[in-house]
Amino acid sequence: MNQAALKTRTERILRDLGIDPQVIAHRTLPYFEEVSEHLLEDTETDAETGKVYRLISPAATAWHQMKQQAAADGVGIYLVSAFRSLDYQAGLIRAKQEAGIAPQTFFTSLAPPGCSEHHTGCAVDINTPGCDEVTGVFGETEAFQWLQSHAARFGFVMSFPMNNPWGFIYEPWHWCWHSNS
């Protein structure tokens, strides 16, 4: 699907959620394909919930290598999110709606379905032991410092630095593996 077709699909999902697509019209959000299930690999299991996080194979390999190097350097990192389907993303949005939060607000920290890098199977949300919440405070951790120095070597790039052009909040926990880096 091309960007126009992907955009149309996102607009349809937003309407199904009762959200006027105009709410993101001023944002130059990119649209992503949802990766095929068969390309995803079980990458890590959540120690608390037992949830299995999946990435495409080369991203999973890069993640394991990065995590191993971080551990060798005395830094613990673990996944709190990886691949997310469009349906799953829509569910996250429904939860925000049920909590009474306005789309203009939650779309600064949650991408509309079709606009999340998590659909590609290349994006990860990372946390570290001792960091209670995956928010801007992750940016003050030793793990974040380590990632800033070393993640690029493994192909991971922080997608949403402060004042990013897409209008997302600063997300020091969100990194995306890029095959060409």
Binding mask 108-127 for Zn ion (x = CB under 5 A): -----------------x--
Size of the site for Zn ion (CB under 5 A): 2
Binding mask 21-60 for Zn ion (x = CB under 5 A): ----------------------------------------
Run of H or E residues at 12: helix 3-16
Nearest approach, Cβ of residue 174 and Zn ion (Å) = 4
CB of 125 or CB of 142, closer to Zn ion: 125
Whole-angstrom distance, CA of residue 130 vs CA of residue 138: 10
Among positions 121-180, residues that touch Zn ion (CB under 5 A) are 125, 174
Scored b (16 or more CB within 10 A) or e, 119-142 reads: bbbbbbbbbbeebeebeeebbebe
Question: Using CB atoms, what's the residue nearest to Zn ion?
Answer: 174
Amino acid at 178: H
Whole-angstrom distance, CA of residue 76 vs CA of residue 98: 34
Nearest approach, Cβ of residue 124 and Zn ion (Å) = 7
Question: Which DSSP letter does residue 80 get?
Answer: E
CB of 17 or CB of 80, closer to Zn ion: 80
